[in-house]
Amino acid sequence: MNLLRQIELEHMKPAIPDFGIGDSVDVHYLIKEGDKERVQLFAGTVISLQGSGTRRSCTIRRLVAGEGVERTFPLHSPRVADIQVRERGIVRRAKLYYLRDREGKSTRLDPNLGKLQYPRSGKGSGKTAAK
């Protein structure tokens, strides 16, 4: 095995939920205030996934008081405590940057109520069946 890949595997988190573009997720993020640490919840829609291995990150967008807020989270960071998928969305694009120009109800995505055909968060190849 490649030495860099072996070191990378040691620092990866053992379990990241299977989520993809268009899903609504809750990210529990550790923030430091003074000498205390607490978990803050950031809930929104995944508009992009990039990178691979320990460099994998996702960009989450949500609306706060009518303003769009985006935040990029490195998935294997020790600061990301947990990621929970609330709702899966049906999309036909790899990046949902067009949501930045939309307001109100037009930012909603159709929910995916069926079973996934393949894992979407980069675990394994894209054509394998979900179990």
CATH code at position 89 = 2.30.30.790
* 27 occurs within a structural domain: yes
pLDDT for 4 = 83
| Close Cβ partners of 95 (under 8 Å, ≥ 6 residues apart) | 21, 47, 48
Give 10-residue mean pLDDT values along the chain (131 residues): 83 85 93 93 94 90 89 91 90 90 82 70 49 43
pTM over 0.85: no
**How many Cα atoms occupy the beta-carbon half-sphere of 126 within 13 Å?**
1
* 131 occurs within a structural domain: no
pLDDT for 121 = 60
